[in-house]
Amino acid sequence: MRVSTPDPESNGGWLSGEDLDYVRRRVPILYVEAIPVRLAPSGELEHIGLLLQANEDGVMTRAFVSGRVNYGESLRDTLNRHLEKDLGPMALPQLPACLTPVTVAEYSPIPGARLVDERQHAVSLVYVVPVSGECDPCENALEVSWLTPGEALDPDLLEELEGGRARILKTVIGQLSAWP
């Protein structure tokens, strides 16, 4: 029996691979996604942090901080856990006081959907998280790239965001009044 799971450190949310496969075919899976940002002292958006990582086919892609909400885990703990896993322990993220997300993203396993996640039907709560410390990606990510809104909207870069997430990035840049 295979017992790997994406979050082995978290006992409460522990699921064997078979369990997770089983659940994924029966209910939508809840995720959080966090877009790390560097803000000016005035609060203005300066840089957006995108993870650079290889996907399952070995292709380099851009990604947000992202992960599943475990059974029994609060949204705040989930955000904290994934921010630490993806940005390292010294990133000093400022979690939002209000848990209303910037946007809600619905991923479908069906090819051609607006947002696609081949593994599952997932619903993701998307947050913007100001980060003031040093980022040191721990797991899959090779690095965190810090991009101005103009750089992040470069068409080549937008294509490196998988599953239609370019739409989410554009939504967030709009919400932060940062269209160049």
Q: Which stretch binds a copy of itself (CB under 8 A): 56-64, 120-128, 136-144?
A: 120-128
Can you tell me the distance from the alpha carbon of 77 to that of 26, in angstroms, rounded to the nearest whole number? 25
Can you tell me the distance from the alpha carbon of 83 to that of 93, in angstroms, rounded to the nearest whole number? 8
Can you tell me the distance from the alpha carbon of 44 to that of 109, in angstroms, rounded to the nearest whole number? 36
Q: Which stretch binds a copy of itself (CB under 8 A): 34-42, 50-58, 59-67, 137-145?
A: 34-42
Strands 60-63 and 65-68: unpaired
Helix, strand or coil for residue 111? coil
Q: Single out the residue of 53, 88, 121, 146 in contact with a copy of itself (rule: CB under 8 A).
A: 121
Q: Single out the residue of 7, 33, 73, 86 in contact with a copy of itself (rule: CB under 8 A).
A: 73
**Shortest gap between Cβ of 176 and a copy of itself (angstroms)?**
5
Helix, strand or coil for residue 72? coil
Strand pairing partners for 32? 67, 125
* Pair 95, 79: CB distance under 8 Å: yes
**Shortest gap between Cβ of 63 and a copy of itself (angstroms)?**
18
Q: Does 94 bind a copy of itself (CB under 8 A)?
A: yes
Q: Does 90 bind a copy of itself (CB under 8 A)?
A: no
User: What is the sign of the dihedral through the CA atoms of 124, 135, 138 and 78?
Assistant: negative
Q: Does 65 bind a copy of itself (CB under 8 A)?
A: no
Q: Does 152 bind a copy of itself (CB under 8 A)?
A: no
**Shortest gap between Cβ of 142 and a copy of itself (angstroms)?**
26
* Spatial CA neighbour of 5 closest among 65, 67, 49: 67
| Interacting residues with a copy of itself (CB under 8 A) | 15, 19, 22-23, 25-30, 37, 39, 41-45, 68-77, 79-80, 94-104, 106, 108, 114, 121, 123, 125, 128, 130, 166-167, 170-177, 179
